[in-house]
């Protein structure tokens, strides 16, 4: 199975993001694409948006055997452990992102950190392209090194910034969002201050990134559907930090981890990779 190279580790440590070419084998990519297609054909609650051009669904591994197999069947958890210097890595959730051909929907600049009730520094995502994409076709872009700024920017939903509207997404989200002091700016307009890194990806390539880094995807300006899956990984120092307005996909009533404690519930957050048993 694929290991993180010394160059990839150095890039992640410096930039907060690294492109890992060919992280997932072609045969697995094909199975994942087929699984996403099945979800699109038979929408489950949450996937209806796909029909409108931009859609996502998440925490699939908990209820779908095929998505659970993907979590455990790729080198991604091990790559996440190597990138974050963790002995073990748990899965928080998986998430599918589909953008139909020529769909204009964007994910504007955001960090994942302020959405999640998770603390710590060893928390990363692996975003795996299941179809080819360039930045114009909605591959991810990052503000290099922004994970180290010690800043948490107000989350926005797509391009929505209205507090009341955001409160309808889930309870208290808008209130939580406006409680963060820093407001997103168009980082791309200040090349003297911020370096933007955009990627062109092939199926099976992974972008591994810190949950504090600013990232975005543009609308899909290509004539082909773009499909990607993100896995959210919790490394050694991840803690449970619930606040009202945090993403309820996993809520306090779902698990046994105490507020502020290290995440150790093996049922809700299964260990996917451990160097101790490797
Ligand atoms: O795939 C996309 O367009 C957005 C993905 C994203 O923001 C993420 O994986 O955190």
Residue range 102-108: mean pLDDT, rounded: 87
Q: What is the pLDDT of residue 54?
A: 57
pTM (predicted TM-score) = 0.94
Q: E strands along the chain, which residues?
A: 17-20, 54-58, 88-99, 107-110, 118-119, 123-129, 141-143, 196-198, 206-210, 215-217, 226-234, 239-240, 271-274
Q: Identify the pLDDT of residue 44.
A: 57
- Whether 131 lines ligand 1, by a CB cut-off of 6 Å, is no
- pLDDT, tens digit (0-9, with 9 covering 90-100), for 206-255: 999 999 999 999 999 999 999 999 999 999 999 999 999 999 999 999 99
- 102 burial class (0-12, 13-18, 19+ CB within 10 angstroms)? middle
- The per-residue pLDDT of the chain, averaged, comes to 92
Q: Where are the domains of the chain?
A: 6-236
The alpha carbon of 136 and the centre of ligand 1 are apart by a number of angstroms equal to: 14
Indicate if ligand 1 lies below 6 Å from the C-beta of 115.
no
Q: Whose CA is nearest to atom 1 of ligand 1?
A: 97
Contact 97 CB / ligand 1 (< 6 Å): yes
C-alpha span between 215 and 140 (Å, rounded)? 7
Q: Which residue has the tokens 């452990």?
A: 81
Place of tokens 């974050």: 84
Distance between CA 163 and CA 270 in Å, rounded?
34
Distance 143 CA to ligand 1 centre (A): 14
Percent of the chain with pLDDT over 90: 78
Residue 81 Cα to ligand 1 middle (Å):
20
Residue 163's pLDDT is 82
Measure 97 CA to ligand 1 centroid, in angstroms. 7
Ligand 1, residues 132, 211, 217, 227: which to mutate, most atoms within 8 A of Cβ?
217
In angstroms, the CA 198 to CA 216 distance is: 10
Which pLDDT tens digit goes with each residue over 141-151?
A: 999 999 999 99
Cα 277 to ligand 1 centroid, rounded to whole Å:
31
- The tens digit of pLDDT for each residue in 41-74 reads 775 565 555 444 556 678 999 999 999 999 999 9
Quick check: CB of 109 below 6 Å from ligand 1?
A: no
pLDDT for 113 equals 96
Residue 89 Cβ inside 6 Å of ligand 1? The answer reads no
142 lines ligand 1 (CB under 6 A): no
**What is 6-236's CATH topology?**
Jelly Rolls (2.60.120)
Q: Which residues contact 231 (CB under 8 A, 6 or more apart)?
A: 71, 76, 77, 80, 91, 94, 95, 125, 126, 128
Residue with tokens 């209806």: 48
């Amino acid at each position: 199975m694929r290991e993180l190279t010394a160059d990839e580790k150095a890039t992640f440590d410096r930039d907060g993001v690294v492109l890992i070419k060919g992280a997932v084998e072609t045969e697995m990519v094909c199975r994942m694409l087929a699984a996403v297609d099945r979800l699109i054909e038979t929408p489950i609650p949450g996937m209806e948006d796909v029909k409108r051009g931009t859609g996502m669904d998440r925490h699939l591994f908990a209820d779908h055997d095929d998505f659970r197999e993907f979590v455990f069947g790729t080198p991604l958890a091990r790559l996440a452990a190597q990138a974050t210097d963790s002995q073990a890595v748990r899965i928080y959730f998986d998430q599918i992102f589909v953008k139909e051909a020529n769909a204009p929907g964007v994910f504007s600049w955001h960090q994942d950190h302020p959405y999640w009730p998770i603390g710590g520094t060893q928390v990363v995502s692996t975003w795996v392209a299941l179809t080819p994409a360039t930045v114009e076709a909605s591959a991810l872009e990052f503000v290099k090194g922004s994970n180290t700024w010690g800043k948490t920017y107000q989350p926005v939903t797509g391009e929505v910034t209205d507090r009341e509207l955001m409160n309808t997404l889930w309870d208290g989200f808008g209130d939580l969002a406006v409680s963060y002091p820093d407001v997103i700016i168009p980082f791309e307009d200040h090349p003297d201050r911020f370096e933007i890194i955009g990627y062109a990806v092939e199926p099976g390539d992974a972008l591994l990134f810190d949950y504090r880094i600013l990232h975005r995807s543009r609308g899909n300006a290509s004539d082909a559907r773009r499909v990607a899956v993100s896995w959210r990984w919790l490394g050694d120092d991840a803690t449970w930090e619930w606040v009202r307005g945090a993403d309820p996909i996993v809520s306090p009533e779902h698990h046994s981890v105490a507020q502020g404690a290290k995440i150790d519930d093996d049922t809700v957050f299964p260990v996917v990779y451990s160097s101790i048993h490797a």
